[in-house]
Structure 1
Amino acid sequence: MNRTTVSLIAGVAALAAVTGFASMSEPQASGGDTAKTAAELPVERTSLLCPAPSTSDLAETAYTSFTPVTKGTGKSGRAELTAAGEEPAEGTTGGSGADGKEGDKKAKPVLTPKEPGKPVTGEASGAESPALVGTAEGRFAPGWAVQQTTEVEAGSGRGLLGTACSAPDTDFWFPGASTAKERTDYTHLTNPDDSAAVADIELYGKDGALKSTVGEGIKIPPHSSESVLLSTLIDEPQTNLTVHVTVRSGRVAAAVQAVDDALGGDWLAASAPPAGSLVLPGIPKDATSVRLVAFAPGDTDADLRVRLASPTGLITPAGHETVHVKAGMTAAVDLGDVTRGEAGSLVLTPTEKSAPVVAALRVVRGKGDKQETAFIPATGPVGARATAADNRSKGSTLSLVAPGRSAKVRVTASAGSGGGTAATKTYTIKGGTTQDVRLPVPSGLKGTYALTVEPLSGGPVHAARMLEAAEGGIPMFTVQTLPDDRGTVEVPDAEQDLSVLQR
């Protein structure tokens, strides 16, 4: 048997291992090389990581885990969130411990969901709450969502800080960070795997790349989290920064915690990958200040047309019709109270030649010493389905935007974490508009609930959820975007070609 034959057989065997099956029949004759349509199957394993929530002793953190019910998942599976770097708990067993060595005892889970379709919640207090590493398998894996929401009543980081715990990856862009004297921004890196990860942090200001060797080769031990204060990486303060995290080995989840002395703080999630056109959904209608921060990572300048998708259609903000983003440089534009009391989303498109960009919004609500900040990164469309966990009976707003064609969308409010019956509503979003929809609320709601968004027809839909909790006259809030949950994966209909054995 020659080397080519061995390679082909090994490739077919690997594909069979991934998909769970491979057809052993000979391929039927056909008039061409038409590929069969790949099947959409539920994912069987999902990893999510939550950063350490706060350095404030006053921090009160709520965790909400939810998996939507998905057809074709079977009846088995489990999900759990465990403290990163925690010493193994006594009396429990498992394969690999926190240091990745076989035979170590397994750390006790912080949160363990019981069944899909119903949220489960947990709490943490103070400055010592750790990052969490989560894994879901089987029926708990498709669409698994975990929300981390922290309320800090006073002092550094005052406000409502929320983030959707994210999957590990190897490349992240964060336009909207800062090392200004009033800001304290940390990049959090969490490693879910049994071996160490190595990452680099690059910073880009208004004049381009900022020299720093401190951000190179940052080691994140197995099942652990590291936070890096951005101001320690460069000498001079920078008001508007783009942070680029790249992973040399392994994989991490990354997020930026941005804290302002006067404007509160929030988590800055990664922007959608660089693209010529971007959508930034869910600007609160009562926003008093909106700042757009954009970065062009390629070698070509980007000229972007700026439009606001309002409830009545696409409009161009006066005085901000376009923005020019120089290659390798961070651009910032203050749009003021661009929504003027109406729901809105920002739509960025190339004026002529397309060039890839990343972008985010810093949004401020309130006035004077009663202001609070949140961030909205550019995000991809909902796709097949997206979920926002941790919604309350009051204070949740769902924004839906159809930047192109009109779309029909189904929104499901799950049963409550403490009881209640799920409810569903269907909405039609006109092309070029943003709608803050009236949410379905579970009947008999007790506790928190999850919102699941599913486009039914029409063009792409982008979504964001705002959660607010006023405290002492301060309009505390946080915004999470809702990209596709990647709950399914395309699996090709593979067939083994036995004719290779005769060559």
Structure 2
Amino acid sequence: MHKEENDAGTPAASSPAPSEGVGVRSEERAKPAKKGRRPARRGMVTGLLSAVAILAAGGGLVSAASLAPQPASDRRLEIPLASVPAGSSQDVCPGPAKLLEGTPVGTDPQFSPVSATARSSVSAAVVSAAGGSLPGSRLSALGGSELLRIADVPGSATAPAGASGQLAGIVAQRSVEDVSVLSADALGNRQPSAAAVMNYTATDGDLQGSAAAACQAPSNDLWLTGANTAVGRSSVLNMTNASTTPATVSLELFGKSGQIKAPGSRGLLVAPKSTRSIVLAGLAPGEERLSVHARSTGGPVSAFIQQSVLRGLTPGGVDFIAPGTAPAARQVMTGIDIQDPDGLAALTAAPGYLDAAPSLQITVPGPIDAVVEVKLFGSAGQKALPGGGVVTAKAGTVTEVPLAGVPAGQYTVSATSDVTIVAGARVNRGLKASQSSDFGWAPSTAQLGSQHVVPVPQDGERLLVFGALDDRATISYTPITADGKLRPAASANIAGGTTTSLKVPAEIGKSPVVAYVVSASGGAAYGTVLLEREGRNDVSTVAIAPGAEGQEKVKVTLGQ
């Protein structure tokens, strides 16, 4: 390294030659020696002696170093970590569901007006630290115009005295007409605790049903599972760039027969503060199961797939497919609501209803086939799948595993593989072909930690569903009401290998429940929000967003 620096910069000083004499001025060397006097030779002798002394000293140093205790050869130096200042959070909420108009040319969609009963709203919560202040926060349109101020500049609102010493800022069922963004500022060098959910409902039209998704932190690498471009199914990929930097997105598509090389799937430009919609049937037509890997350079993006089903003239539901966790050897999905097995068997026997049953889809992005063990955990423990639960998923393909055939109830699904996989699970409501039905996709989620903010919509039946895999786990959940108060916390003790469902009450203390703060301890636990509606077949699942972290540390790479 030093040689490269000297080659590129100031020349390194060379060692003096013995003939020049160490410690002799250049003008003395230039004078010819007088007869009978030998000053130059004395200088040479002096130089040689000095050089010998220097070499001897160096040899002593080398010998001393060689005799000194040396570090073990297998000792590894820790990679240094550098603290990164906390930044503001920005969660992008999908826009309302829109009906495709006719058959689009290429991949650019044209939308027709939505039904008269369609409603789209955002619910959100921002929570202060214990005894702290509420961070500055707001709900805005994608272009930047403010829809609702939650809290002013950081520190302007402080937590009241109480058991928790915390304060919450609330967005309760705010109507939206397009993509919206929840922003919260960092406070005290800590990431803000904030989360939002977008909820769509309609009781008529081709897009009747319910669709909900947790608002999403933008990323440069996203995996989405559950798209379908077969006849009667429409899949629209909506990519939003909420930053001020252009984003260039490339898509990798995986189908039931392998990876799909689609012209027009690379180099898709998403301008700053804009959304780009892609009809996936224009890239991969006739695919009954389709996974999308979206990677962006430049600005990060959020991505949702609007998926809908129309069986002849009968609406089959609508949903927002959200990204799941990155490829891993284990993927977990919870909130899988399974209906009566006999009713499901009769329904799926009808033409066009094969995808009206719960199932797990597994994508293998690598070049090696995966051997996957699928386990289903209900309230009474593990339930065996009719097919045995062990499947081989081919490399580069999307494999479907039916989840029907077990007693009705809420379940947690675990898929463990010998290679990394991506997974998502489908839930369905409705058992009669003559009636409208609905479906929802549960993305794979990360293990629960502490301080997860979990907003819930204001209407319908709302369930918090938690699953513990191997060991017993304890879930603490603190309700947040519309008046901004954090109510007394409760806890649920979940045995390993089981799933627990908790019904969200409409009110606490005469104030509507709008969110929870959830923390988990003990064994690995996972959670989701399951949304249904009494008297209808509406169903949606909403993943619990990651909890806020303290000061982030990143690895520092030491280069030359």
Residues 35-58 of structure 1: per-residue CA shift (max 9 Å, x gap): 799899994411111122222243
Alignment map for 1:178-217 (pairs within 5 Å): 178-217=228-267
- Which residue among 401, 410, 431 is the counterpart of 1:367? 431
SS in 2 for 1:173: strand
Q: Which residue in the other structure is 1:161 paired with?
A: 211
Q: Which residue in the other structure is 1:113 paired with?
A: 150
Alignment map for 1:273-284 (pairs within 5 Å): 273-284=326-337
SS in 2 for 1:185: strand
Give the structure with higher Rg (CA).
2
SS in 1 for 2:193: coil
- Which residue among 70, 80, 96 is the counterpart of 2:138? 80
Q: Which residue in the other structure is 2:471 paired with?
A: 405
- Which residue among 84, 88, 104 is the counterpart of 1:45? 88
Find the aligned partners of 2:235 and 2:174 in 1 and give their Cα distance: 24
Whether contact under 8 Å (1:423, 1:440) holds in the other structure is: no
Question: Are 1:485 and 2:547 counterparts?
Answer: yes
Find the aligned partners of 1:440 and 1:476 in 2 and give their Cα distance: 19
What amino acid is the match of 1:364?
Answer: N
Whether contact under 8 Å (1:36, 1:492) holds in the other structure is: no
SS in 2 for 1:180: coil
Find the aligned partners of 1:193 and 1:482 in 2 and give their Cα distance: 24
- Which residue among 85, 105, 130 is the counterpart of 2:178? 130
Whether contact under 8 Å (1:421, 1:442) holds in the other structure is: no
Whether contact under 8 Å (1:51, 1:225) holds in the other structure is: no
- Give 4+ residue runs of structure 1 displaced > 6 Å after superposition: 32-42
Alignment map for 1:57-456 (pairs within 5 Å): 57-58=115-116, 59-71=118-130, 75=133, 77-85=135-143, 107-114=144-151, 116-124=167-175, 129-139=177-187, 142-234=192-284, 236-261=285-310, 262-286=315-339, 288=344, 289-338=357-406, 340-350=407-417, 354-368=418-432, 369-392=435-458, 395-415=461-481, 417-418=482-483, 422-439=487-504, 443-455=508-520
Deviation, structure 1 residue 479: 0.6
Find the aligned partners of 2:453 and 2:134 in 1 and give their Cα distance: 22
**Cα distance change on mapping 1:337 and 1:483 into 2, 3 Å:** farther
Find the aligned partners of 1:441 and 1:410 in 2 and give their Cα distance: 19
Which structure: greater helix fraction?
2
Most deviating of 108-117 and 363-372: 108-117
Find the aligned partners of 2:430 and 2:483 in 1 and give their Cα distance: 33
Residues 56-81 of structure 1: per-residue CA shift (max 9 Å, x gap): 24321111121233248x53731223
In structure 2, runs of 5+ residues without a counterpart are 6-74, 99-113, 152-156, 158-166, 345-356
What amino acid is the match of 1:477?
Answer: V
Whether contact under 8 Å (1:42, 1:487) holds in the other structure is: no
**Cα distance change on mapping 1:296 and 1:371 into 2, 3 Å:** same
**Cα distance change on mapping 1:41 and 1:402 into 2, 3 Å:** farther
**Cα distance change on mapping 1:57 and 1:112 into 2, 3 Å:** farther
Identity value in percent = 25
Most deviating of 182-191 and 115-124: 115-124
**Cα distance change on mapping 1:370 and 1:337 into 2, 3 Å:** farther
Find the aligned partners of 1:448 and 1:276 in 2 and give their Cα distance: 37
Residues 193-240 of structure 1: per-residue CA shift (max 9 Å, x gap): 112111012221111122212222111111111111111113x41111
What amino acid is the match of 1:453?
Answer: V
Find the aligned partners of 2:493 and 2:80 in 1 and give their Cα distance: 30
Find the aligned partners of 1:492 and 1:168 in 2 and give their Cα distance: 19
Deviation, structure 1 residue 163: 0.8
* CA RMSD between the two structures: 3.0
SS in 1 for 2:319: strand
TM-score, scaled relative to structure 2: 0.71
Find the aligned partners of 1:193 and 1:310 in 2 and give their Cα distance: 42
SS in 2 for 1:231: helix
**Cα distance change on mapping 1:431 and 1:131 into 2, 3 Å:** same
TM-score, scaled relative to structure 1: 0.79
Whether contact under 8 Å (2:478, 2:490) holds in the other structure is: yes
Find the aligned partners of 2:383 and 2:540 in 1 and give their Cα distance: 25
Residues 459-489 of structure 1: per-residue CA shift (max 9 Å, x gap): 111001112224xx42212111224224334
- Which residue among 515, 519, 537 is the counterpart of 1:475? 537
Count of matched residue pairs: 433
Find the aligned partners of 1:493 and 1:201 in 2 and give their Cα distance: 29
Find the aligned partners of 2:227 and 2:297 in 1 and give their Cα distance: 22
What amino acid is the match of 1:482?
Answer: I
Q: Which residue in the other structure is 1:27 paired with?
A: none
Whether contact under 8 Å (2:127, 2:134) holds in the other structure is: no
Whether contact under 8 Å (2:173, 2:458) holds in the other structure is: no
Find the aligned partners of 2:246 and 2:228 in 1 and give their Cα distance: 28
Whether contact under 8 Å (1:306, 1:316) holds in the other structure is: no
**Cα distance change on mapping 1:463 and 1:40 into 2, 3 Å:** farther
Residues 306-344 of structure 1: per-residue CA shift (max 9 Å, x gap): 111111222321224212111111111222254x22321
Find the aligned partners of 1:464 and 1:203 in 2 and give their Cα distance: 27
What amino acid is the match of 2:479?
Answer: A
